[in-house]
Amino acid sequence: MAADSIKDELNDAFARMRALRIVLQRARNQATQDPVSERNIELGAVERGDTKSEAREKIEKLFADLVFIAEHLQILHLTATFEAICQRHIPNIIGEARTSVRGKEGSAWKESLVQEKGQFEGLGGISKLLRLGGKDDVLYRRIKSSRDSFAHGQIWREHPTIDPEDTLALLLDLIEHLRSP
Amino acid sequence: MALRETLNKMKEYAEERAFILENPGEIIEDWTGSLEDLFSETKGFLQSYLDDGLMNIVEYQVEKKEDILGDYTCPAALIYVPSESIKINMRPVERLVAGSAGRVDLYREDVHMQDRMFRILRQRPPKLEERSRKWHIQDLPSGLGALTGELGELAGGLGAPARNLRGYREFNQRSLEQSIEFLVNL
């Protein structure tokens, strides 16, 4: 499990979504510079016949929504990337655990405590793995809750309950934790 | 869209903005003239109703203020149905609107709902110095009279409209009568 390349995956995911938010900001600036432009009609932000003030209001509303969605997507993309990383490496972690107890006194029952990888599938399974590893998963559950609310369509027209930067930092920390012996 | 078409569209738009900035007086004159034409045409379309005393049309002046163009006065019209005391306004909104060379709203004075009114949009002239006399009116909210092709494109821009927007049809006697009928039945 090469730590740097794994961290790169998460950092790249973060950077992609950060770029998306910058693109959005620039698109918003461009759209508000000339609210009644053809470009805004093509974008679907503005309707033909809209006055400047009507167009401006619609553009502000559209981009406010898009910013919310981009923020949630950033969390979603980070957690999805994290989940994919974990699913790739959980079999190794389980294998290492089995190896560490094998051949020791009472190893048969100790080995039986090592669970199958199916027990740790999805973000909920990862949460379980963290708890088993003695890691406080409160923040992780906050990320999962924010991600779930958006993914299930419950919340999107408001900011995520956790900051994308904090999410990245925590997920990087969890990767370190899962890698530790 | 082909690159040439895209670039030409951008060029035309930039030229139009520049022309408007440099010639606000001409733009206002063109706009008020086109409104006079529209109301005159409207009277013509509704002449038989006027002759039979089923409705009246009164023209009046409205004060407008627009970015770039500043303050100006332009004509508006009120269609009155005496039997039911229904007032239908045909009121200029602004000249500098999105995707059109001016907008007039047709609505009942006692009903102020976006989906219970009609936008009448003036088509951009092929050349800036020409006056456009072509108008399009928004489809009935039920979707009757939806158009495809060039006129359909007026509804939502190029390609598929991003939202379920009402289409537009040519402003003529039939489309005007249908729109007024919709409004008097509200």
The residue type at A175: I
What is the C-alpha to C-alpha distance for residues B16 and B22, in angstroms, rounded to an integer?
Answer: 10
Q: Does B171 touch chain A (CB under 8 A)?
A: no
* pLDDT tens-place string over residues A48-102: 999 999 999 999 999 999 999 999 999 999 999 998 888 887 777 666 666 766 6
Domain count, chain A: 1
Q: Does A27 touch chain B (CB under 8 A)?
A: no
Q: What range defines the domain where residue B135 resides?
A: 3-184
Identify which has the larger pLDDT, A136 or A88.
Answer: A88
Q: Would you put residue A135 in left (φ > 0), alpha (ψ -120 to 50) or beta?
A: beta
- For A:126-155, CB contacts with B below 8 A are none
Please indicate, yes or no, whether the overall pTM of this predicted structure exceeds 0.95: no
Residue B98 to residue A44, Cβ atoms within 8 A = no
Kindly give, in sequence order, each residue whose CB lies less than 8 Å from that of residue B183, ignoring residues fewer than 6 positions away: B86, B88, B106, B107, B108, B111, B116, B118
In this predicted structure, the answer to whether residue A104 has a pLDDT above a threshold of 50 is yes
Domain count, chain B: 1
Q: In the block, which residue shows the tokens 């495809």?
A: B148
Whole-number mean pLDDT of chain B?
A: 85
Per-residue pLDDT, A114: 59
Q: What range defines the domain where residue A40 resides?
A: 3-179
Q: What are phi and psi of B44, to 5 degrees?
A: -60, -45
Residues of B with Cβ-Cβ distance to A50 under 8 angstroms: 97-98
Q: Does A48 touch chain B (CB under 8 A)?
A: yes
DSSP letter, residue A41:
H
Q: Does A55 touch chain B (CB under 8 A)?
A: yes
The residue of chain A nearest to residue B166, with distances taken between CA atoms, is A47
What is the C-alpha to C-alpha distance for residues A42 and A61, in angstroms, rounded to an integer?
Answer: 16
Please name the member of A34, A38, A52 whose beta carbon is closest to the beta carbon of B99.
A38
Q: In the block, which residue shows the tokens 């793995």?
A: A129
Per-residue pLDDT, A106: 65
